[in-house]
Amino acid sequence: MALRKAGSMLVVFFWSVAVVMGQDGWSVTYTPQSICALRGSTVDLTCSYTYPSGTVTTTLWFTKWETGVEPEYLGQDPEYAGHVEYHGDKEKDCTLRIKDLRERDSSTYWFRLLTDQEGGTYTGSPGVTLSVTGLQVKVTGGHQDKTLTCSTTCTLTDNPTYIWYKNGQHLDESTSPQYKSSVSSNYIDGYSCAVKGQEDLHSPAVCVQGQDCNRVTYTKRRICVLKGSTVDISCTYVGYNRVKSSLWFSPKRSASWTNKLTPEDLTRDPGYAGRVEYTGRESETYEGPSSLRISDLREEDSAEYRFAFKTQNFEWGHSFPGTTLSVT
């Protein structure tokens, strides 16, 4: 398995299978042949190539291949604008990076090169098959013996570690997608799962009993904005009982908290003085939207931001991943 950082995003798990198709000095080697990646992550389609003679004039990746029709380079396809970067060269490397993966990016990708020699065109087959999936908690079983599974539409390989959260609090880690401990039958409890190293791409929280459990859903997992601008970071929340209080906080600021285990409200943080406000937040409600607005953004504001709330006898956990902000 190979992992590569791309900003705060990770290249995900894959089979290390090299595929070489070639003739008369032409070849394209795809490593691997199949990739299963999480929605929102960044993936590298790694390949290398050889050619018999001449100079490479054009390199391109494409997904639509019809007989007799020249394929369209992904970099010129509006569907991929801002999502693809060619990291190869005109010597031997043909790596393509796809960022912020969407499920509609699931496809077979081919690489083609052209040289200045007569007949100097070659397309590597069979290409790379990319499958993009999200995470979903599936609940099975009866009222007292429920089973939770962190489900995907394709198989994440090389034994990824799954992380489980209950009511926003980190519970357990395991190489099995199935939650091994006993499952609460309490109507207030909501469960979510994630893959270690990509915690911000966690599943939505799911109620194991009924539909009214405690949960927080962030509108965006990642936001990138310009220095000096204003940003709104938002979420929706549901409390099984009336919400008495709520706050936004950043784990990055924990060194300044009075109690390192108890998050402090950003509106009281001197580093954000006069620059933060809350909108859409009302007390004594069961559910609603909440937004954190930060103005006059600074590069040091780049951090993860989380929302928490309290009811009369419940507090949403502090370890549930929130929204990551990048200021450039």
Q: Report the CATH number at residue 201.
A: 2.60.40.10
Considering the entire predicted model, what is its pTM? 0.83
Q: How many CB atoms lie within 10 A of CB 184?
A: 16
Task: Give the type of residue at 54.
Answer: G
Total domains in the fold of the chain: 3
Query: Residue 225 forms beta bridges with which residues?
Result: 327
Last residue of some domain: 82, 104, 132? 132
The first and second tokens of residue 271, run together, are: 């580093």
Q: Quick one: 246 and 149 in the same domain?
A: no
Q: Quick one: 50 and 120 in the same domain?
A: yes
Q: What is the pLDDT of residue 284?
A: 66
For 149-208, how does the pLDDT look when each residue is reduced to its tens digit (9 = 90+)?
999 999 986 779 999 999 999 999 999 999 988 888 788 899 999 999 999 999 999 998
Q: Quick one: 317 and 281 in the same domain?
A: yes
Q: What is the pLDDT of residue 24?
A: 82
Is 321 in contact with 305 (CB distance < 8 Å)?
no
Max Cα separation, the chain?
78
Last residue of some domain: 213, 230, 245? 213
Helical segments of 127-167, H only: none
Q: What is the pLDDT of residue 9?
A: 37
Gap between the Cα atoms of 313 and 301, Å rounded: 33
Gap between the Cα atoms of 173 and 162, Å rounded: 6
Q: Quick one: 261 and 146 in the same domain?
A: no
DSSP H or E stretch at residue 12? none
Q: Quick one: 155 and 250 in the same domain?
A: no
Q: Which domain holds residue 270?
A: 214-328
The first and second tokens of residue 141, run together, are: 């079983």
Query: Residue 309 forms beta bridges with which residues?
Result: 246
Query: Which residues of the chain, if any, have pLDDT below 70?
Result: 1-23, 157, 281-284
Q: Quick one: 13 and 99 in the same domain?
A: yes
Q: Quick one: 224 and 312 in the same domain?
A: yes
Bridge-based pairing of strands 121-133 and 34-38 is parallel
Last residue of some domain: 213, 239, 273? 213
Q: What is the pLDDT of residue 128?
A: 95
Q: Quick one: 219 and 204 in the same domain?
A: no
Q: Quick one: 199 and 293 in the same domain?
A: no
Is 38 in contact with 201 (CB distance < 8 Å)?
yes
Gap between the Cα atoms of 318 and 254, Å rounded: 12
Q: Quick one: 222 and 191 in the same domain?
A: no
Gap between the Cα atoms of 60 and 141, Å rounded: 49
The first and second tokens of residue 215, run together, are: 């949960």
Q: What is the pLDDT of residue 223?
A: 95
Task: For the chain, state the CA radius of gyration.
Answer: 24
Per residue, the 3-state secondary structure of 50-109, as one string, reads ECCCCCEEEEEEECCCCCCCCCCCHHHCHHHCCCEEECCCCCCECCEEECCCCHHHCEEE
Q: Quick one: 220 and 327 in the same domain?
A: yes
Q: Quick one: 143 and 218 in the same domain?
A: no
